[in-house]
Protein backbone atom coordinates (compact mmCIF):
# COMPACT_ATOMS: atom_id res chain seq x y z
CA UNK A 1 0.00 0.00 0.00
CA UNK A 2 1.22 3.46 -0.87
CA UNK A 3 1.61 6.18 1.70
CA UNK A 4 0.47 9.76 1.17
CA UNK A 5 3.83 10.84 -0.24
CA UNK A 6 3.74 8.20 -2.98
CA UNK A 7 0.06 8.41 -3.93
CA UNK A 8 -0.85 10.88 -6.68
CA UNK A 9 -4.38 11.45 -5.39
CA UNK A 10 -3.22 11.85 -1.77
CA UNK A 11 -0.85 14.57 -2.99
CA UNK A 12 -3.70 16.26 -4.89
CA UNK A 13 -5.89 16.08 -1.77
CA UNK A 14 -3.03 17.59 0.28
CA UNK A 15 -2.58 20.37 -2.27
CA UNK A 16 1.01 19.51 -3.16
CA UNK A 17 0.00 18.75 -6.75
CA UNK A 18 -2.30 21.28 -8.41
CA UNK A 19 -5.61 20.17 -9.87
CA UNK A 20 -8.77 21.91 -11.02
CA UNK A 21 -11.14 21.27 -8.12
CA UNK A 22 -14.85 21.42 -8.84
CA UNK A 23 -16.08 20.23 -5.43
CA UNK A 24 -14.73 19.63 -1.94
CA UNK A 25 -16.18 18.70 1.41
CA UNK A 26 -14.91 17.05 4.58
CA UNK A 27 -14.60 13.56 3.01
CA UNK A 28 -14.07 14.09 -0.72
CA UNK A 29 -12.54 16.22 -3.40
CA UNK A 30 -13.62 16.27 -7.04
CA UNK A 31 -11.33 17.36 -9.86
CA UNK A 32 -11.47 17.68 -13.63
CA UNK A 33 -9.89 14.64 -15.30
CA UNK A 34 -6.72 15.63 -17.19
CA UNK A 35 -7.65 13.23 -20.01
CA UNK A 36 -11.41 13.73 -20.36
CA UNK A 37 -13.42 11.10 -22.22
CA UNK A 38 -16.53 13.31 -22.53
CA UNK A 39 -17.43 16.99 -22.17
CA UNK A 40 -17.84 16.38 -18.42
CA UNK A 41 -15.30 14.05 -16.82
CA UNK A 42 -14.81 14.55 -13.10
CA UNK A 43 -12.94 12.34 -10.65
CA UNK A 44 -14.51 12.05 -7.19
CA UNK A 45 -11.78 11.08 -4.73
CA UNK A 46 -12.07 10.23 -1.04
CA UNK A 47 -9.63 12.18 1.12
CA UNK A 48 -8.95 8.97 3.04
CA UNK A 49 -6.50 6.75 1.17
CA UNK A 50 -8.19 3.53 0.09
CA UNK A 51 -6.31 1.64 -2.62
CA UNK A 52 -9.37 0.38 -4.50
CA UNK A 53 -12.98 -0.68 -4.15
CA UNK A 54 -11.70 -4.22 -3.50
CA UNK A 55 -9.85 -2.90 -0.44
CA UNK A 56 -12.99 -1.51 1.25
CA UNK A 57 -14.87 -3.25 4.03
CA UNK A 58 -18.05 -2.84 6.05
CA UNK A 59 -16.47 0.12 7.88
CA UNK A 60 -16.36 2.04 4.60
CA UNK A 61 -20.13 1.95 3.93
CA UNK A 62 -20.61 5.57 4.99
CA UNK A 63 -17.70 6.75 2.84
CA UNK A 64 -18.94 4.81 -0.20
CA UNK A 65 -22.43 6.25 0.20
CA UNK A 66 -20.97 9.72 0.58
CA UNK A 67 -19.00 9.32 -2.67
CA UNK A 68 -22.20 8.43 -4.53
CA UNK A 69 -24.02 11.38 -2.98
CA UNK A 70 -21.20 13.67 -4.15
CA UNK A 71 -21.56 12.23 -7.67
CA UNK A 72 -25.31 12.86 -7.59
CA UNK A 73 -24.78 16.47 -6.49
CA UNK A 74 -22.11 17.01 -9.15
CA UNK A 75 -24.35 15.50 -11.83
CA UNK A 76 -27.00 18.08 -11.00
CA UNK A 77 -24.46 20.90 -10.74
CA UNK A 78 -22.93 19.97 -14.10
CA UNK A 79 -26.44 19.96 -15.65
CA UNK A 80 -26.34 16.29 -16.62
CA UNK A 81 -30.12 15.84 -16.35
CA UNK A 82 -30.22 13.70 -19.50
CA UNK A 83 -27.92 11.17 -17.83
CA UNK A 84 -24.35 10.30 -17.03
CA UNK A 85 -22.13 7.34 -16.30
CA UNK A 86 -20.33 6.53 -13.04
CA UNK A 87 -17.30 4.27 -13.33
CA UNK A 88 -15.12 2.70 -10.64
CA UNK A 89 -12.12 0.94 -12.17
CA UNK A 90 -10.82 -1.70 -9.77
CA UNK A 91 -7.45 -3.41 -10.15
CA UNK A 92 -5.26 -3.72 -13.23
CA UNK A 93 -7.73 -5.80 -15.25
CA UNK A 94 -10.45 -3.29 -14.40
CA UNK A 95 -8.37 -0.44 -15.82
CA UNK A 96 -7.36 1.17 -12.52
CA UNK A 97 -4.16 3.17 -13.09
CA UNK A 98 -3.97 5.09 -9.78
CA UNK A 99 -4.01 3.02 -6.60
CA UNK A 100 -6.49 5.25 -4.78
CA UNK A 101 -10.24 4.66 -4.98
CA UNK A 102 -11.97 7.20 -7.23
CA UNK A 103 -15.19 7.49 -9.17
CA UNK A 104 -15.38 8.82 -12.71
CA UNK A 105 -18.43 11.00 -13.42
CA UNK A 106 -18.72 11.08 -17.21
CA UNK A 107 -21.41 12.91 -19.14
CA UNK A 108 -22.39 15.64 -21.53
CA UNK A 109 -22.85 13.24 -24.44
CA UNK A 110 -24.63 9.96 -25.10
CA UNK A 111 -22.83 6.96 -23.63
CA UNK A 112 -22.50 3.75 -25.63
CA UNK A 113 -22.51 0.09 -24.62
CA UNK A 114 -20.42 -1.93 -24.22
CA UNK A 115 -18.03 0.62 -22.72
CA UNK A 116 -14.78 -1.05 -23.70
Q: Which residues are catalytic?
A: 102
Report yes or no on 112 lying in a domain. Answer: no
CB distance 102 to 28 below 8 Å: no
**pTM, two decimal places:** 0.93
User: What is the domain-level CATH number for residue 39?
Assistant: 3.30.428.10
Report yes or no on 3 lying in a domain. Answer: no
Segments forming the whole domain that contains residue 55? 8-107
The dihedrals phi and psi of 94, each to the nearest 5 degrees, come to -85, 0
Closest CA to 44 of 59, 60, 23, 63: 23
Report the alpha-carbon distance of residue 47 to residue 92 in Å, rounded: 22
pLDDT, tens only, 61-103: 999 999 999 999 999 999 999 999 999 999 999 999 999 999 9
Domains in the chain, number: 1
pLDDT, tens only, 23-75: 999 999 999 999 999 999 999 999 999 999 999 999 999 999 999 999 999 99
Amino acid sequence: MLDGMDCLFCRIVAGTIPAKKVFEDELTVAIQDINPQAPVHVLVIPKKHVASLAETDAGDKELLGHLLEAVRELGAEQKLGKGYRVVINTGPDGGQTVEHLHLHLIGGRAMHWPPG
